Amino acid sequence: MSASIVHRRGVKFCRYLSHRSIHTTPVKSKAVILGVYKEKDADPEFTIASTVFNEKFGGELEAKLKIAPNSFKAGGCRVLMGLDKEYDAVALVCLGKKDTSYDSLEVLDSRKENVRKAVAAGISKLQSLDVKEVEVDPCGDPEAAAEGSYLKMYSYDELKAKDKRKLPMELTCYLTDKSNASAKSSWKQGQVQAEGQNLARKLMEMPSNKLTPRIFASIAQEKLQNLGNTEIIVRDQKWAEDQNMGAFLCVSKGSQEPLVFLEVSYQGAGKEDLPVAIVGKGVTFDSGGISIKPSASMDEMRADMGGAACTLGAIYAAAKLRLPINIKGFMPLCENMPSGTAVKPGDVVTAMNGKTIQVDNTDAEGRLILADALCYAETFQPKAILDMATLTGAIDVALGAGAAAVFTNSSVLWSSLEKAGSRTGDRVWRMPLWDCYTKQITESQLADLNNISGGRSAGACTAAAFLKEFVKNEHWAHLDIAGVMKNKSEISYLNKGMAGRPTRTIIEFLRNLKI
């Protein structure tokens, strides 16, 4: 069996070849994705949905899979045309082994990840055929199936000509009389979690002239204002000055774009319940300032507000899912630009908590704006503080796109984050937060702290040690997400571009956190 796409007079056709007949059918508008478990050299096993479909057609699906069975592997997809009057295309996706579960070596729920990958392969195939409506087999895990579907379907192409944009598809969960009663609600949960990550992806991908600090704040207002139990407060430079946020203010000095300190609240629990604070780095463009970056790949620094984007995406999903938790989000937003007014190497500034900082590298600006944001977050006496930032190139060297780094003073937070990452497939890895790194940033000639250490070694660790100087909370975690900022081909259910990671892990963390 084989399938191929041909073009005739500008119309896309799919040709399905079998040992019995040849069909050449124009692609229409509706399709279904069905899951199949398949181990090497073993007969296929069908999910509940694909079993029903197979029985409906007298074993037709099973017969098709017996043709070149070894070519049907985990994460693969076969598209059958003309099989059913209701569906113009039937996409069979391979889920791999049926009995997979938690893999302790990979720190991963392999079953969930296999569902995401397989369903995404089907979405990709059907998207290339311009299918308009797709029903997706929950494959035993509707939440993961929805995540794989909506994450794969998304791409940021709204600035392209209309004929170059991917056409949207209407996705629904394929339910049968034998489907689990909770499938529909689990699908919706996965959809919202994917929407949160896709919001972060969009913000990270937007050009910096289309996403200034003020535009970021307006998008936050637009996304959250109708969800209920949310409050958005947009702070300006005068407010930051009144708060004595000298570290945040110094970074924004070189830009003509006004800074914004965005404060977002979600109340899903009682007023007496202390909030979880999430702080996100929001540098909407990072040139490096006077310590200017090399020109190569500088365009990607439009995504240096990834921490703020993931913060907003997580709070958006939490509010939409009505999670029973209170959250306070803090996003210091600004540009880091070189100009006659920009902060200079060797300048000394004073943070909100009164500590002085010698700024020896203006490209180490993220830790400066986070310092003041962390101090402000402390004033709400949260039960935990989490910060996220595309902070160091050093963590990209250490971990690449495999995992976001976690530096934490709390075993409770670490355990919750690790478990959340294993479920979402967006993993985290614990890094050391030791005194030897603190010593490297407290050895400053002119001030209490230096914003860089004396050498190149352990750059991510010394950056985390710097942030620790502005935190008193016994449950604090810093996530350095620079390595997971973008996706090349590492995650098959994400297209190439900014990744919005680890938004879904934070949502899962918030759902199950117990302190």
Could you say which of 124, 153, 180 is where a domain stops?
180
In a domain, 189, yes or no: no
Catalytic residue selected from 367, 423, 501, 511:
367
Q: How many residues does the chain have?
A: 515
- Sequence-distant (6+) residues with CB within 8 A of 121 are 75, 76, 77, 93, 492
pLDDT for the residue 9 = 33
- Sequence-distant (6+) residues with CB within 8 A of 115 are 35, 95, 139, 140, 141, 144, 145, 148
- Inter-CA distances, 237 with 107, 243, 259, 347, 366, Å: 44, 10, 6, 20, 17
Question: 449 and 342 in one domain?
Answer: yes
Question: 148 and 66 in one domain?
Answer: yes
Could you say which of 118, 150, 180 is where a domain stops?
180
- Phi and psi of 337, rounded to 5°? -125, 155
Q: Which two tokens stand for residue 206?
A: 């937007």
For residue 290, count other CB atoms closer than 10 A to its CB: 19
> Which among 452, 260, 249, 261 has a CA at the least distance from the CA of 341?
249
> Which among 327, 310, 344 has a CA at the least distance from the CA of 265?
327
Please classify residue 297 by burial: count the beta carbons closer than 10 Å to its beta carbon, then call 0-12 exposed, 13-18 middle and 19+ buried.
Answer: exposed
Question: 172 and 230 in one domain?
Answer: no
Encoded amino acid at 320, one letter: K
Residue 178 and residue 47: Cα distance in Å, rounded?
A: 11
Catalytic residue selected from 293, 344, 383, 430:
293
In a domain, 54, yes or no: yes
- Sequence-distant (6+) residues with CB within 8 A of 74 are 38, 94, 95, 96, 97, 114, 117, 118
> Which among 254, 445, 462 has a CA at the least distance from the CA of 362?
254
* Residue range(s) defining the domain that contains residue 113: 2-180
Longest dimension (CA), the chain: 83
Question: 202 and 156 in one domain?
Answer: no
Question: 206 and 241 in one domain?
Answer: yes
Computed from CA positions of residues 333, 191, 423, 108, in that sequence, does the dihedral angle turn out positive or negative? negative
Q: Give the CATH number, domain containing residue 109.
A: 3.40.220.10
In a domain, 190, yes or no: no
In a domain, 394, yes or no: yes
Place of tokens 């073993």: 42
Quick check: pTM over 0.75? yes
Question: 224 and 100 in one domain?
Answer: no
Q: Active site includes 367?
A: yes
3-state secondary structure of 408: strand
Instruction: Answer whether 98's CB lies under 8 Å from 41's CB.
Output: no
Straight-line distance from the first to the last Cα atom of the chain, in angstroms, rounded to the nearest whole number: 55
In a domain, 192, yes or no: no
Please classify residue 113 by burial: count the beta carbons closer than 10 Å to its beta carbon, then call 0-12 exposed, 13-18 middle and 19+ buried.
Answer: buried
- Inter-CA distances, 484 with 211, 365, 429, Å: 21, 19, 12
In a domain, 186, yes or no: no
Question: 404 and 491 in one domain?
Answer: yes
Question: 319 and 443 in one domain?
Answer: yes
Helices (H), 57-182: 60-65, 110-128, 142-153
> Which among 440, 441, 452, 463 has a CA at the least distance from the CA of 390?
463
Nearest 5°: CA angle at 12, between 124 and 496?
30
pLDDT for the residue 7 = 38
Residue 27 and residue 11: Cα distance in Å, rounded?
A: 9
Question: 403 and 280 in one domain?
Answer: yes
Residue 90 and residue 304: Cα distance in Å, rounded?
A: 41
Q: Give the CATH number, domain containing residue 484.
A: 3.40.630.10
Residue 437 and residue 439: Cα distance in Å, rounded?
A: 5
- Sequence-distant (6+) residues with CB within 8 A of 98 are 37, 39, 45
In a domain, 479, yes or no: yes
Could you say which of 113, 148, 180 is where a domain stops?
180
Question: 215 and 118 in one domain?
Answer: no
- Sequence-distant (6+) residues with CB within 8 A of 36 are 44, 45, 46, 47, 50, 61, 65, 72, 92, 93, 94, 95
Question: 487 and 442 in one domain?
Answer: yes
Mean pLDDT by 10 residues, the chain (515 residues): 37 35 53 94 90 88 84 91 90 94 96 98 95 96 98 96 90 87 95 98 98 98 95 98 98 98 98 97 98 97 98 98 98 98 98 98 98 98 98 98 98 98 98 97 96 93 98 98 97 98 98 94
Q: Which two tokens stand for residue 40?
A: 């090497």
> Which among 302, 321, 361 has a CA at the least distance from the CA of 485?
302
Instruction: Work out how many domains the chain is built from and give that number.
Output: 2
Question: 18 and 117 in one domain?
Answer: yes
- Inter-CA distances, 216 with 202, 209, 242, 347, 436, Å: 11, 11, 23, 29, 38
Encoded amino acid at 30, one letter: K
pLDDT for the residue 28 = 54
Q: What is the dihedral of CA 17, 23, 28, 31, to 10 degrees?
A: -50
In a domain, 90, yes or no: yes
Q: Which two tokens stand for residue 454?
A: 């004396």
Please classify residue 448 by burial: count the beta carbons closer than 10 Å to its beta carbon, then call 0-12 exposed, 13-18 middle and 19+ buried.
Answer: middle
